Amino acid sequence: MAEQSSNIPLTLETGWFANYHTSEIPYLQQNPDFALVNRRASELHSSKGPVTVTVVFACRKYADLSRTFIKLEWDTADALHTVKSKQKHFPPPEPVGDADLQQFSGTYGPRIVKFCEDAFASGFKVGDGECWTLAEKALESVPDCMTSFGVFHGQSIFSRDAKVSNGNPNIVQPGDIIQYTRAKFEEHEGGKLVRIVTNGAPNHTSVIVAVIGSGVWEVLEQGGSLSKIRRKLVKVEEMVEGKIVVYRPVPKAWLGSLVPEWRPEYD
């Protein structure tokens, strides 16, 4: 029952799949923020019968990184009445251990920081200037490192929801990435409230380039009305509303393959 409840609606009765060179699953077309989709079609010809078509879709959900593989197979002589479908679901990636997270920080962190510092020194924004793009391009610059996927920039290692922290901020390292959701900070100087700042409308992204103290991070960021990349301090304890998640860069392989192929063990 759990497997079936996770199935992506296919509405095969409409026959949308018959134009298999270009057809896409209607539900996913109508909900583009649901998943990233790769597809592959193949034909099996027979001198004694109709052509058998197989199309495989590989989907990664933006909400939680879980994957679904979908296989459609039918005879071209009567596609609507011969089509069969199968779906195979994989849960979100398993969290890696502390030792591996420390290793990934040492492997990826310095390169990510260097990319951002070089971009800051150039005086220009990166790519299209959006906040997310700085993190994406920094991760992309590091061989074998997972690139940003939606609001995920690796494995979550620390989060804070309003005034409640989940995890130890002391494990955060340079090269980690902060994802904000309507996060309001009451910034103080000399013990006095000097400004209230909200990061994320609804989302914002910045890259940690230095750890100043427990829960105090120096970040580089771009986006919005900023004319160039800027440097600022983030103090976790000053956050009073919204949410932040800190991600540790991890290897590409952690996500799992999204090659559109149906393996024998999926049956």
**pLDDT tens for each residue of 190-221:** 889 999 999 998 999 999 999 999 999 999 99
Residues 233 and 153 in one domain: yes
Residues 154 and 140 in one domain: yes
Residues 135 and 240 in one domain: yes
Residues 148 and 242 in one domain: yes
**pLDDT tens for each residue of 109-150:** 999 999 999 999 999 999 999 999 999 999 999 999 999 999
Mean pLDDT for the stretch of residues 219-241: 93
Instruction: Report the chain's mean pLDDT, rounded to a whole number.
Output: 94
User: What pLDDT is recorded for position 123?
Assistant: 93
CB 210 within 8 A of CB 116: no
Residues 36 and 51 in one domain: yes
Residues 146 and 245 in one domain: yes
User: What pLDDT is recorded for position 5?
Assistant: 58
Quick one: how many helices (H) and strands (E) in the chain?
A: 5, 11
Would you give the distance in Å from CA 221 to the centre of its chain?
18
User: What pLDDT is recorded for position 2?
Assistant: 45
Count of structural domains within the chain: 2
Q: Measuring CA to CA, which residue among 235, 203, 201 is closest to residue 219?
A: 235
Residues 215 and 103 in one domain: yes
Q: Which domain holds residue 82?
A: 2-93+255-266
